[in-house]
Structure 1
Amino acid sequence: MRFLEALSLLMVGMASPALLVLDDAHWLDRASAEFVAYLVRRLDTLPLTVVVTLRPEDASADDPLVAAIDRRAGRGGLTRLDLDRLDVDQVAELVEAAGRDRREAGELHRRSEGVPLFLVAYLTADDEDPTDLGQLLAARRTGLTELARQLLTAASAIGRSFEFEVLREVSARTEDEMVIGLEELVGRGLLRELPDGTGLDFTHERLREATYQSATWVRRRLLHRRIAEALVARSPARAPDPATVAAVAHHYRLAGLASEAAESFTEAGHLARRLHAPQAAAEHYRAALALGHPDRAMLHLWMGELLTLAGEYGPALAELEAAAALLEGGALGGAEQRIGDVYRRLGNWELADRHLKAAEQLVEAVADRAGVLADRAVVAARRLDEDRSGRLAAEALELAGQSGDPSALAHVHNTLGLLDDAPDRSRYHLAESLAFAERAGDVTRQVAALNNLAQMERREGNLDRATELTRRALALVAQMGDRHREAALHNNLADLLHTSGLPHEAMDHLKRAVALFAEVGTEPGTLEPEVWKLVEW
C-alpha cells in the first residue's frame, strides 16, 4: 500500500493538477489495474482526473479497476458513459472519414451491427472477411470455462437466438450448470438476454459464426440432430408452428438425416401454403425435392400450383410438366388441367384447349370432370365457338349437380354467369356461384364470383356496389397470393374509382396493377399483352 501511495504522489508531483488517460483498460495487467484502482479510490484527495475506457465484458470477473469504478459510482464524483452501438448515420460518417463511398454504410452497418471495433476491422481490411476480425472474435472466447465453452458451441448451432430450455436439452446440462455457464457468457458480453425474457442471443452474428466454425464437423452434426429432436418434442402435434417445422427440417438436413429433413420440409410447405405464403411453401417443397423425397410427382405439382399463383408461368409450366411425366390416371388429368389453366392465363387458347381436352379424358371424379368441362367452355368462348361452349357448359352443370360438390357448383355457375348474355340469368348464376363458394370455403371461387358480379354492376351503372364487390375480392385475393388476378383487380378498381371521380386513389391502384402485371408472365420483364388484358375469369 505504501508503494502505491508513493507512486501516486510521484505521478501527481510531476504535473499538478494531472490528467491520466487509459484506453482499453480491460487489457491492463493485474498490478497496473490495482494501481489505477487505488487512484480511483483516492480521487477526493488527489489533484487528479482519470479518464478510462474499457469493455467490462472483456475484463476478468475479479478485476480490481472495475470493482473500484462500480464502488465509486455509488458515491458520486464519477461520470459514466455507456456507449450504444453506432447507427447507420454514424457509420456513414466513419465510412467517409476513411475515404470510402458513403453508400457502403448500409452494408457495413449490417455486417458490423454497429460495433465500432468490428466496423474498423471491416474498413481497414483488404477483403470482405477481415483476418483481424477473426482474431478478435477468437480472443473474445479465450479464458472461458469448459462449461461455458460447451454451452456457447451448442447455442451457436441453434441459431442467433435461442430458448433456455432448448439449449438445456441440446447441451444435456442441468439447470444449475446452465445458470452458471450462461451467467459467465452474459458477463463476458458474448450472449445477452432478450428484452422480452423469452431467451438469449449472441451479441454479434459473426461471433456465433466463428464459434460454430470452431466446432468439429462430427460435433455439429450431433448438435443439429439434438436440436431437431428437441424442437419436435416441444412442438404441439395438433397445431405445429410453421417456423418451428421449417427449423426442424433445417437442423435435420445439417445433421445429415436427409429422409427426416425431406419429410419436415414437405410438412413446412403444407403449413406455409395454408397460411397463404406461396413463396415460402415453394422453397420448402424445393428443398424436399433436393433431399430426395419419394413423392416427387406431387412435389412438382404443388410447386407448379404455387408458381402459378406467383405469376411465374414459365417455371410453373416446367414444374407441372415434370409432375405430368411422373403421374398417371386421374392424377395426370389434374396436372393437365393445371397446365391448361396456365395457358388460359397467358391467353394461349389453343394450348389451353389441348391440355384441358387431355384432362377431360383422364379425370375420374365427377366433380373434377365438371370443372374441366367448365374450363373448356370458357376457352371455347374465347375461340368464338359459341355452340361448343354452350354444350360444354350445360354438361358441366349437369355433372356438378350430380356430384353435389359446392366447389364444383361454384366453378360451373361462375362459368355460366360469364358466358350468358342475358343479364338476369348471368346475375343468378354468379350469385349462386358466390353462395356455393362461401359454403365450400373456396376462396378462389369467391374471388372470381365477386369480381364478375362487380363487372356486371359496373355495366349497369351501379358504381358503388361494383366498387364494394371489387374491394372484397381484392382483400381475398391478396390472402391467396394470386399476383395476376390481384393485378387485374387493382386495375378494375382503378377504372371504377376514376369513373367515380376519385382520380388520386385510382392512380394508386393503377400503379400497383402495373407493378404486378410487369412481374407476371413466362419470362421476367417480357411484355405479354394477353396477361394485361385480364378483366373477368
Structure 2
Amino acid sequence: MVSPVFVGREAELGILSEAFEQARKQAAAAVLLGGEAGGGKTRLVTRFAEDAACTGAHVLVGGCVELSTEGLAYAPFTAALRQLVKEMGATEVAALLPDGAARDLARLLPEFGEPSGDKETETGRARLFEQFLTLLERLAERQSVILVIEDIHWADRSSRDLIAFLSRNLRTAPVLMIMTYRSDELHRQHPLRPVLAELSRLEGVVRLDLPRLSESEVAAQIAGIKGDVPEFALVKKVYQRSEGIPLFVEALMEREDDCSVPESLQDLIIGSVERLPEETQRVLRIAAAGGNRVGHELLASVTDLSDVDLENALRPAIAGNVIQVADGRAYVFRHSLIREAVHDEMLPGEHNRIHARFAEEIDRDRGLVPPGRAAIEIAHHWFSARDHLWALISAWEASGKAAKAFAYTEQIQLLERVLSLWDRVPDAPERIGVDHTTVLELASEAAVISGDTDRGLKFVKGALAELDETTHAERVAQLLVRRAQLKSDKGRRGGLDDLRYAERLVPVPGPARVQVLTRLSSWLMFINETVEGTELTREALRIAREIGDLCQEAELLTNLALGQSLEGDLEATLLTNERAMEIGKSVRSGRIVLRAMANNVDALNNLGRSEQAVQLALDGEAKSRKYGRYRVSGAFMANNRAEALEALGRWDEAVEAIEQALASGPIPRIRGHLLRVRGDVAAARGEVDLLERILIEVGALHGGELSEFAQEWMTNTRLLIEFRLLRGEPVDALKATEHILSISTTPHSSKPMLGWRSLAQSRLVCEAAAIAAPEIAAAVRAKADSLAPGMTSDGPIADAYRLMSRGEFDEAAAAWGRLGRPHPRARSLTQAAAAVARTGDRDGASVRLREAYPIAHALGARPLLTEIEALARRVGTTLAAVSIEGGENGLAGATRNGLAGVGHSGSAGAGPGASAGTGLNGTVLADLTPRELEVLRLVAQGRSNRDIAGELFISAKTVSVHVSNILGKLGVSTRGEAAAAAHRLSLLT
C-alpha cells in the first residue's frame, strides 16, 4: 500500500532545489542525503529528479548494491554510463571524450570496444577517474546534469574513491550529485564514515538528514493510501507503531485489520509477503537470492519456469507492490528491506541450492546479467552456496576482471578469498593454474597500486617466506623492490637495504636486472648519492638498449636527468629529459612524456628561466588531462609550476595552482610537495599558523625521523628554520641549520633551489643568532663556507645564492633583479642595508631600505616589511609612503613597472623604470596584476568566463572576480569597453 500522494518533505525538496540552482548558476554542488532504512530517501530523490527533468536537467541514476562489498566495482557509475549509452549511443558518448579516451570506459562497458592495452597500471585508475570527470563536464556543457547515486553505504572502495574525486573536482560545471545512504547502518568502523566526513568539509557539499514523518504527515500518508480521511485512532496507532518511518506505515496499513503487534521489523515487513500464494512466495525467495534487481530470463532459468508460469507466479507480488517491473525485462523489489526479509526466510539447504543455481545459470549464459557483472556475480553465488571449490575458482576469475577495471582494492578482496579457501581445495594450484605464492605476489602488487601498505607488506612477507632465493632469485628480487616501495609509502626506513639485496640477486644482465637497477638508481638519486646512482643508471641503460626495451630506456634517462639536476648540471638535465620525451612519444607512453616535461619545468626554474617554466608546466598540465593523468602527473606538474610562480613572487597564482592540485586528491608524496611550496609562501607572508600546520602534516615540526630523500628533508628543514625565525627563536633556527649542514650520510646538493638556497639561508640565520649564540653561529658559518667550494655553481640562480651565502648582498640583489625574483632581491637589499649599517654608513643603509621597502610591500611580505621598518628606525631614516595594494596587485607594479628596478633615489615613483608607471598607460599597468593581464587578453579575444577558466586552469568564479577587478581598474562597465581600452592603451602588446 503506497500513497499516490507525495507527503511532506517540502523543506528537503527546497534544499535540493537550492543546491541545484547553485550548481546551475555558480559551481558544482553535492548533497549527501542520509536517512533510516525505509525513511523515504528514494521517493524524495525521485520526486525531485522528475521535477528537475521537466525543467531541462539531464538526470543520470546509478545505485550501489550489496554485492559491491564483495568486489563489484563502480556499480553505480556503470549503471549511469549504461543509461547514457542507451539514451545517446556509445559513439556519441565517446565523441565527448578526448581521442582514444573511451577505451578506458570499455573497462566498465563493452559498448566502448576493447580496453586500452596500456600496462601502466599504477595510473590506470587515475585515467579512468579523469575520463568520467571529463564526460560529466562535457555533458554539462549541453544541459545541467544531476547524478543520483543511491545506497552509497554499500559502495565499493573504488566507487567511494570516485565519488570523492568527483566531489573535489567538479568545480565549475553545472552538475549536482545526490548521494543517498542509510544513516542507521553507519557503525563506527563503517568505511563510508571517513568519506562522509571528508566530503562534508568541501565547499558546495550539503549534508541533509531526512527526518521521520510527523503525526500529521503520517495522517496524510494514510489518507493517500485509503483515499479518504482516516480516523484519529487509526492515525494514532499507526504513528506510534511506525514511529514515522514511511515504509513501516505502509506495512502497518497492510495489517490494518490485525490488532497484533509484530514482534520484529522482520515480521512487520514480511507480513505482506506471507499473504501471497505459496508458489509466489517460493519464486520471491529465489528472486531475493539474485539481488534487489533480477532479469526475467535469469529468474526463469533459475526457477525452471516457462515465461507464462513465471509471470503468473509473480503477478500477485506485482499487484501487492512487493516487487515492481523495471526497464529491461527485470524485476525490482520495492524496497531493499523487503528483499532482505524475504532472503532471510530461506532455509539453509534452500539457501545453498538457490545460490548454486544462480551461479550455474549465469556461468552457462553470461548474457543473463548486465555486461561486466558475470564474473563477480558467479563468485558471489558460489561463495554464498558454500561450495569451496567453485568459490575459489570463481573468485580467482573475478579478481582478474577487477584488475582489468583498475579496481585494485576489490581485486585484493577477491584474492584474499582465494587465499582463505586455498587449504579447503586440495588441488587448488591445478584448478586455477598458479601456485599460492603467485596469488600473494598479485595481491602485493595490487596493494602497492591501491596504497594499502599494511596489507601489501603482509602479502610480500608471506610470498618471501615461500620462495627460495637460490631457485627463484628474480621473483625474490621483484618482491624486495616491492617491499622497498611499500616501506617508503609507509614512511619506514630500510627500503635501500632491500634494493641492494635485490641487486645482488640478479647479477646477470637482463630484464630483471634492469628493473631492479631502475628503482635502485632512482632511490640513490633521491638520497643524493648521485655518483653511484648515475653509474648504475648507465649500466641499466646499456642493458635496456641491448635488449631493445625503449620504455625502460626512457625511464632510465629520466633517472639520469634527475642525477644531473641534483648535481647542478642543469643544461645537461634539459637535454637528457628531451631525449626521454622523444622516446616516450614514440612508444606512446604519456607517463614518460609527462615525467620528462615535469623534470624540465623544475630544471628551467633552477636555471632562472621561470617564466618559460610556467608556460611549459601549463602545457604539461593540459597534456596530463588529455592523457587522463592529472591526479599523478598533472598534480606534480602543477607543483613545479607553483614553485616557479613562488620564485617569481606571483604568490596568489602559486596558491591557486596548489589548491587546485590538492583538490584533485594527489598521491601522498605529491601532496607533501605541494604543501611545502605553500609553506614557502606562508613563510614569506608571515602566515605562522598555516606554516605550523603544514610542518606538522609533512612531519617536520616535532623532531620526527628524517625522510631518506634529500629534497624532502632539506625542504622540511628549511621551512622549519623559517618557522623558528618567524617565532622569534633564532637559536633554535641555528640548531636546525647546524643539523642540515652537518648530516654526513649524504653530500650537500648542488641544486640551486635546494643546496645553494640552504647555504644562503644559513648566512641569514647566523646573523640573526650571532648575539645570542656567537660561538655556535661562527661554527655554523664556517661549516657552510667549507661546503661551498665542493658544490657546482651552474647558472644564475646558483650564482645569486652563492653571492648571498658569501655576504655579497649588493651583487646578489642586482642578480635577483635581472632574474625577476623580487623577494630574494628585497631580502638581499635588506641584508646589504644591515651590513653597511654595522659599519656606520647610515646613508647607504637608507638607500637600500628605500629600494627594498616598496618591493616587500607589493609582495605582501609582512615579516620582511617588519624587518625593513625596524632597521629604518635604527638608522634614523624614513620610508616613502607606498600606495600599492598588497599581494599580487602590488607585485604587478613592482615587477612590471620599475619598482623591482628602482634606483637608489629612495622614492617608489622615481629612479629607473619609474616612467613606466607614469601617465594613464603606466598607471593601468601598475594596477593590473599579471593574472589580470592574462584574463584581459582572453577577454579581448571574445572568450567566455568558462573558456578562460579552462585556458588558465582556474575556476570560472575566479575569472569573474578578475573581470570585475579589470572593469573597475580600467573605469569601464562592459567587457567590450575593456577590450577597446586594452587596445587603445596598448596593454596587450
Q: Of 355, 359, 363, which residue of structure 2 is paired with 1:232?
A: 363
In structure 2, what is the equivalent of residue 456 of structure 1? 603
Q: Partner of 1:44 in structure 2?
A: none
> SS in structure 1 opposite 2:328?
coil
Task: Name the Cα RMSD after superposition.
Answer: 4.1
Alignment deviations for residues 95-153 of structure 1 (CA, whole Å, 9 cap, x no partner): xxxxxxxxx9933156665787999756389xx9x834322222201232233222111
**Aligned partners of 1:281, 1:508: CA distance in 2, in Å?**
32
Q: Aligned with 2:386: secondary structure? A: coil
SS across alignment from 1:106: strand
- 2:289 aligns with one of 121, 142, 157: 157
- The aligned amino acid for 2:562 is L
Decide whether aligned partners of structure 1 residues 90 and 506 sit closer, same or farther in structure 2, where only a CA change above 3 A counts: closer
Deviations 1:303-342 (A, max 9, x none): 3223323334343223222222223322111111111233
TM-score normalised by the chain length of structure 2: 0.39
Q: Distance in 1 between matches of 2:272 and 2:297?
A: 25
**Count of residues paired in the alignment:** 434
Shift of 1:268: 2.4
C-alpha separation in 2, matches of 1:153 and 1:243: 22
Secondary structure in 2 matching 1:502: helix
Indicate the residue corresponding to 2:618 in structure 1: 467
Structure 2 partner of 1:211: 342
- Name the structure 1 match of 2:548: 404
Q: Deviations over 1:454-503 (max 9, x none)?
A: 43354443212222214534675758x87xx7865554455467666635
Task: Write the mapping of 1:217-366 to structure 2, written as runs, cut at 5 A.
Answer: 217-235=348-366, 241-292=371-422, 294=429, 295-327=435-467, 328-345=472-489, 351-363=494-506, 366=510
Shift of the 262–174 alpha-carbon distance from structure 1 to 2, 3 Å rule, reads same
Alpha-carbon distance in 2 for matches of 1:286, 1:161: 27
The residue number in structure 2 matching 1:123 is: 243
> When the two structures are superposed, what TM-score results if normalisation uses the length of structure 1?
0.69
Counterpart of 2:526 in structure 1 is 382
Aligned-pair CA distance for 1:262: 2.4
Contact 1:474 1:490 in 2 (8 A): no
Shift of 1:175: 1.0
Superposed, which structure 2 residues align to 1:60-79 within 5 Å? none
Q: CA deviation at 1:253?
A: 0.3
- Residues 454/166 of structure 1: CA separation in 2 closer, same or farther (3 Å cut): farther
Tell me the CA shift for residue 507 of structure 1.
4.7
Ranges in structure 1 where 5+ consecutive residues have no aligned partner: 1-54, 57-80, 92-103
Distance in 1 between residues matched to 2:397 and 2:239, nearest whole Å: 41
For residues 148-187 of structure 1, what are the structure 2 equivalents within 5 Å?
148-187=280-319
Q: Which residue of 2 aligns with 1:108?
A: 36
Cα distance 1:438–1:507, how it changes in 2: closer, same or farther (>3 A)? closer
Q: Distance in 2 between matches of 1:439 and 1:236?
A: 40
* Whole-angstrom distance in 2 between the partners of 1:401 and 1:192: 64
Is the 1:410–1:437 contact (alpha carbons within 8 Å) kept by the matching residues of 2?
yes
Q: Which residue of 2 aligns with 1:12?
A: none
* Residues 34-73 of structure 1: CA deviation (Å, up to 9, x unaligned): xxxxxxxxxxxxxxxxxxxxx38xxxxxxxxxxxxxxxxx
User: Aligned partners of 1:412, 1:299: CA distance in 2, in Å?
Assistant: 30
Shift of 1:533: 3.6
Amino acid at match of 1:134: Q
Contact 1:518–1:527 at 8 Å: present in 2 too?
no
CA distance in 2, matches of 1:365, 1:111: 66
CA distance in 2, matches of 1:520, 1:82: 51
Q: Name 1:135's counterpart in structure 2.
A: 267
Partner deviation per Cα, 1:325-384 (whole Å, 9 max, x = no partner): 223322111111111233455676x72222112222334771221121122222233344
| Preserved CA contact (<8 Å) 2:662 2:671 | no
8 A Cα contact 2:499 2:516, kept in partner: yes
Contact 1:397 1:409 in 2 (8 A): yes
Read off the aligned partner of 2:480 and give its amino acid letter.
E
Residues 437/145 of structure 1: CA separation in 2 closer, same or farther (3 Å cut): farther
Preserved CA contact (<8 Å) 1:313 1:520: no
Distance 1:252 1:520 in 2: 42
Structure 1 window deviating more from structure 2 (489-498 vs 319-328): it is 489-498
SS in 1 for 2:314: helix
Residue 420 of structure 1 pairs with residue 348 of structure 2: no
Amino acid corresponding to residue 455 of structure 1 in structure 2: D
Q: Which ranges of structure 2 fall in alignment gaps of 5 or more residues?
A: 14-31, 44-217, 223-237, 249-261, 423-427, 430-434, 673-695, 701-706, 716-750, 752-989
- What's the CA shift for 1:396? 0.5
Task: Give the 3-state SS of the residue equivalent to 1:200 in structure 2.
Answer: strand
- Is this contact kept in 1: 2:478–2:516, CA < 8 A? no
Tell me which of 506, 512, 528 is aligned to 1:368: 512
1:509 matched to 2:660: yes
| Counterparts of 1:519 and 1:243, CA distance in 2 | 35
Distance 2:272 2:670 in 1: 47
User: Residue 83 of structure 1 aligns with which residue?
Assistant: 5
Counterpart of 2:271 in structure 1: which amino acid? A
What is aligned with 1:39?
none
Q: Pairwise mapping of residues 477-492 of structure 1 onto structure 2 (< 5 A)?
A: 488=636, 491-492=639-640
Q: 2: CA distance between counterparts of 1:519 and 1:134?
A: 50
* 8 A contact 1:367–1:408 mirrored in 2: no
Shift of 1:208: 0.7
1:141–1:343 CA distance, 2 compared to 1 (3 A): closer
Q: Quote the residue 1:26 is aligned against.
A: none
Question: Against the structure 1 CA distance between its residues 279 and 398, is the aligned structure 2 distance closer, same or farther, given a 3 Å change threshold?
Answer: same
Matched, 1:429 2:576: yes
**Compared CA separation, residues 337 and 259, structure 1 to 2 (3 A):** same
- Aligned mates of 1:131, 1:478 — CA distance in 2: 55
Query: In the TM superposition, what is the alpha-carbon distance from 1:193 to its structure 2 partner?
Result: 1.5
How far does residue 204 in structure 1 lie from its aligned partner after superposition?
1.1
Please give the alpha-carbon distance, in whole angstroms, between the structure 2 residues aligned to 1:317 and 1:254.
Answer: 30
The answer to whether the 8 Å contact 2:597/2:616 transfers is no
Is the contact made by 2:375 and 2:398 (CA closer than 8 Å) also made in structure 1? yes
Q: Judging changes above 3 Å, is the alpha-carbon distance between structure 1 residues 402 and 458 closer, same or farther for their aligned structure 2 residues?
A: same
SS at 2:305 equivalent: coil
The CA deviation at 1:251 is 0.8
Q: Distance in 1 between matches of 2:242 and 2:441?
A: 46
Quick one: percent identity of the two aligned structures? 18
How far apart in 2 are the matches of 1:332 and 1:89?
62
**Rounded Cα–Cα distance in structure 2 between residues aligned with 1:355 and 1:210:** 53
Between stretches 445-454 and 246-255, larger displacement belongs to 445-454
Q: Structure 1 CA distance, aligned partners of 2:623 and 2:635?
A: 14
Contact 2:383 2:391 in 1 (8 A): yes
Aligned CA distance change for structure 1 residues 110 and 139 (closer, same or farther; 3 Å): closer
Q: Which whole-Å CA distance do the structure 2 matches of 1:83 and 1:354 have between them?
A: 70
